[in-house]
Amino acid sequence: MKQRWYELLIFSLLVGLLAVSVAFAGNGKVSGTVKAADGSPAIGANVVLEGTTLGASADVNGKYFILNVPPGTYDLRASAVGFAAKVLRGIRVSSDQILTVDVTLESAAVGLAEVVIEAQRPVVDKSQTSAKTTMSGDDFTSLPVSSVASLVATSASTYKGFLRGGKQFETKTIIEGIDVTDQYFAAAADAASLAFGSTGGSTPYMTYNGINRQNEGQQATLVGLNRTAVEEASVLTGGIGSDYSTATAGVVAYSLRDARTNFTARVDARVSQTGGLHYIGPDLYWDRGVYFAEKARLAASSDPVDRAKSWRFSWAPDKYASHNYPDYQAEAAVGGNFGSIGGLNLSVGYFDSHGRLPAEHTRKLNASLKANANLTKDIKVSFVVLLEDRGQLRGW
């Protein structure tokens, strides 16, 4: 067991180093102008995203821009000498998008307090150049969904997890700029066409592709995510760039939660209904009477062959009554920042289901960690570690 954890530590460090090169992949940008009430530019005005070290100063034309903004909801504060500060609360920054926020400052007067405005998301995003559906982290934690994939499956152009009617290997899955698509599916498709077109046999790829993956949706990914780990999910089904040339169906991109506030914790747990008198659902073995009647007839027969056949009737009542066992799902998340040093967000999830039919028992442990370190005022390093254990580490 110690060796397994040692191997996991080495693997996590490697993944973290790989994530450094793409730490800013998928981040957004905030830009706009800061002007006075008479329309003149507020030169040198400070614009910051509260709770972060991100900010900018307006130039001689009043224009500003803030780069590499992680997806999320922020409070934008604009201030300048001689003007009353203004705060726009609840502005939503999406991945790979430019958010335009123009601010008008009022001249400071005696008794004039800070102006606070609740931001409203524009109905039409003028910077969006592709067919894109965006879901925020609040959607994952507030809506009655059991998994991230189940909510993504409700987006436009998606049917049961398939984007635009494409196959599994035609959809790319990106987490924090890291491609976690299960490439074995593509090999399985090629091997199938060769095998059935020539000899009609099977290949290791086809065997892998034929595994029953219940409770996973239809997305072919190497690792899953917990609901509490996701800050934003984007489903792109049109106008995809050349860097995703193999994603002929679409791209599903996830951004993990970033630590921007004091440390907070969250625990969610769900248990499904059990069997017995409280179970409401189809009885999969409604014809058990026919089975036991035939078993009794063979056992009472004078023919020794029939009596031997009755010994083969090994099924007992509720032997495969999987619905008598409830499904368990639990998630715990903790995160926060260490001031100007950086921060982290850790999410751990556990899932246990016996399914509805025999041999459908699924149990897995998911964990994700995103840690940020501010090396300087302008340089931030992000580490991302993803883990999905189905028994290797815990010996299930």
CATH classification at residue 144: 2.170.130
Of 74-83, 200-209, 276-285, minimum mean pLDDT range: 200-209
What is the tally of helices (H) and strands (E) in the chain? 7, 21
The Cβ of residue 216 has, within 10 Å, a number of other Cβ atoms equal to 15
Whole-number average pLDDT of the chain: 76
Q: Both 164 and 230 in a single domain?
A: yes
Residue 18 pLDDT: 47
Q: Both 88 and 154 in a single domain?
A: no
For residue 263, the enclosing domain spans 258-273+320-396
CATH number at residue 65: 2.60.40.1120
Looking at the domain assignment, is residue 279 inside a domain?
no
The last residue of one of the domains, among 85, 118, 151, is: 118
Q: Both 111 and 163 in a single domain?
A: no
> Domain total for the chain?
4
The last residue of one of the domains, among 118, 147, 170, is: 118
Looking at the domain assignment, is residue 192 inside a domain?
yes
Q: Both 103 and 189 in a single domain?
A: no
Q: Both 360 and 269 in a single domain?
A: yes
pLDDT > 90 in the chain, percent? 16
The stretch 163-182 carries a mean pLDDT of 80
Confidence of residue 290 (pLDDT cuts 50, 70, 90): very high
Q: Both 247 and 193 in a single domain?
A: yes
Q: Both 199 and 291 in a single domain?
A: no
Q: Both 230 and 263 in a single domain?
A: no
Q: Both 223 and 344 in a single domain?
A: no
pLDDT > 70 in the chain, percent? 69
Residue 203 pLDDT: 52
Looking at the domain assignment, is residue 338 inside a domain?
yes
Q: Both 292 and 263 in a single domain?
A: no
Looking at the domain assignment, is residue 129 inside a domain?
no
The stretch 340-369 carries a mean pLDDT of 84
* 85 within 8 A of 114, measured Cβ to Cβ: yes
Of 68-77, 122-131, 297-306, minimum mean pLDDT range: 122-131
The answer on pLDDT for 379 being more than 90 is no
The last residue of one of the domains, among 91, 118, 145, is: 118
The answer on pLDDT for 19 being more than 50 is no
The answer on pLDDT for 24 being more than 50 is no
Residue 107 pLDDT: 82
Residue 199 pLDDT: 47
Strand partners, 369: 346, 385
| DSSP per residue, 209-266 | HTS--TTSTT--BSS---GGGEEEEEEE-SS--GGGTT-SSEEEEEEE----SS-EEE
The CA-atom distances, in angstroms, between 369 and each of 134, 172, 229 are 22, 22, 8
211-266: pLDDT as tens digits: 545 445 555 677 888 888 888 888 888 766 666 666 778 888 888 888 777 788 99
Residue 50 pLDDT: 87
The answer on pLDDT for 333 being more than 80 is yes
Confidence of residue 277 (pLDDT cuts 50, 70, 90): very low
The answer on pLDDT for 23 being more than 50 is no
Residue 149 pLDDT: 79
Of residues 73, 74, 77, 57, the one with CA closest to residue 65: 57
Instruction: Read off the pTM.
Output: 0.67
Looking at the domain assignment, is residue 159 inside a domain?
yes
Residue 64 pLDDT: 94
Residue 200 pLDDT: 47
Looking at the domain assignment, is residue 16 inside a domain?
no
Q: Both 83 and 176 in a single domain?
A: no
Of 136-140, 288-292, 385-389, minimum mean pLDDT range: 136-140
Looking at the domain assignment, is residue 131 inside a domain?
no
Strands 250-256 and 171-175, sheet pairing: parallel
The answer on pLDDT for 268 being more than 80 is yes
The stretch 186-193 carries a mean pLDDT of 53
Residue 9 pLDDT: 54
202-218: pLDDT as tens digits: 555 555 545 545 445 55
Whole-number Å distance between alpha carbons of 326 and 275 = 8
Three-point CA angle 29, 30, 32, nearest 5°? 135
Q: Both 185 and 228 in a single domain?
A: yes
